[in-house]
Amino acid sequence: MLAMEKGINCFFSASASNVYIYFITIAIALVVIRVSYVIYRSSKPLHTTSPQPLSTLIVLGSGGHTAEMLNLLSVLHTDSFTPRLYIAAATDNMSLQKARLFESSVIDKTGVLENAQFMQIYRSREVGQSYLTSIGTTLMAIAHALWLMIKFRPQVILCNGPGTCLPLCVIAFFFKVLGIRWSSTFYVESIARVRRLSLTGLLLYELHMADKFFVQWPQLQRKYPRAHYVGCLM
DSSP 8-state assignment for residue 45: P
pLDDT per position as a tens digit, 35-75: 887 777 777 766 655 678 999 999 999 878 999 999 999 98
Mean pLDDT value of segment 100-105: 92
Per the CB < 8 A criterion, the answer to whether 200 and 163 are in contact is yes
DSSP H helical ranges for the chain: 2-43, 65-74, 93-110, 131-152, 165-178, 199-206, 218-223
Structure confidence at residue 47 (pLDDT): 62
pLDDT per position as a tens digit, 152-202: 999 999 999 888 898 999 999 999 999 998 999 999 999 999 999 998 899
Structure confidence at residue 11 (pLDDT): 47
Question: Distance between CA atoms of 228 and 99, rounded to whole angstroms?
Answer: 26
In 3-state terms, what secondary structure has residue 121? strand
State the pTM of this model.
0.84
Identity of residue 179: G
Rounded to the nearest integer, the mean pLDDT of the chain is 84
Structure confidence at residue 46 (pLDDT): 64
Identity of residue 198: S
Structure confidence at residue 196 (pLDDT): 93
- Within 13 Å and on the Cβ side, how many CA atoms surround 31? 8
pLDDT per position as a tens digit, 20-37: 787 788 888 888 888 887
Question: Distance between CA atoms of 103 and 7, rounded to whole angstroms?
Answer: 75
Identity of residue 61: G
Question: Distance between CA atoms of 52 and 61, rounded to whole angstroms?
Answer: 28
Mean pLDDT value of segment 130-150: 82
Mean pLDDT value of segment 212-222: 95
